[in-house]
């Protein structure tokens, strides 16, 4: 699919979206992709990132497969 075709498909699909939350999320994504500036974290966000990196370094991370299995178990309980 060419860029022009893809753009036309997206515009057509967006024309049918009426959910304000979805439109805000799409707008935020477009803003993020078109912004050249560096994302600025708050001190709390930096601390959370550092803690997560340290946990991963200690081997405390969870694999994608483990997460998928847990989600599947939760979905099958109902």
Q: Look at residue 40 and give its three-state secondary structure.
A: coil
What's the pLDDT at 20? 92
Contacts of residue 61, Cβ cutoff 8 Å, sequence gap at least 6: 55
What's the pLDDT at 31? 80
53-78 pLDDT, tens per residue?
Answer: 999 999 998 889 999 999 999 988 86
Task: Kindly list the domain boundaries of the chain, sorted by start residue.
Answer: 1-38, 41-78
26-43 pLDDT, tens per residue?
Answer: 888 888 765 566 778 899
What is the b/e burial string over 23-62, where b = at least 16 CB atoms within 10 angstroms of the residue's CB? Answer: eeeeeeeeeeeeeeeeeeeeeeeeeeeeeeeeeeeeeeee
What's the pLDDT at 68? 92
What's the pLDDT at 35? 57
């Amino acid at each position: 699919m060419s860029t022009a075709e893809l753009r036309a498909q997206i515009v057509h699909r967006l024309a049918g979206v009426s959910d304000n939350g979805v439109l805000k999320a799409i707008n935020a994504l477009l803003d993020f992709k078109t912004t050249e500036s560096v994302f600025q974290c708050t001190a709390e966000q930096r601390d959370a990132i550092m803690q997560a990196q340290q946990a991963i370094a200690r081997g405390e991370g969870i694999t994608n497969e483990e997460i998928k299995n847990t989600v599947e178990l939760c979905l099958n309980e109902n």
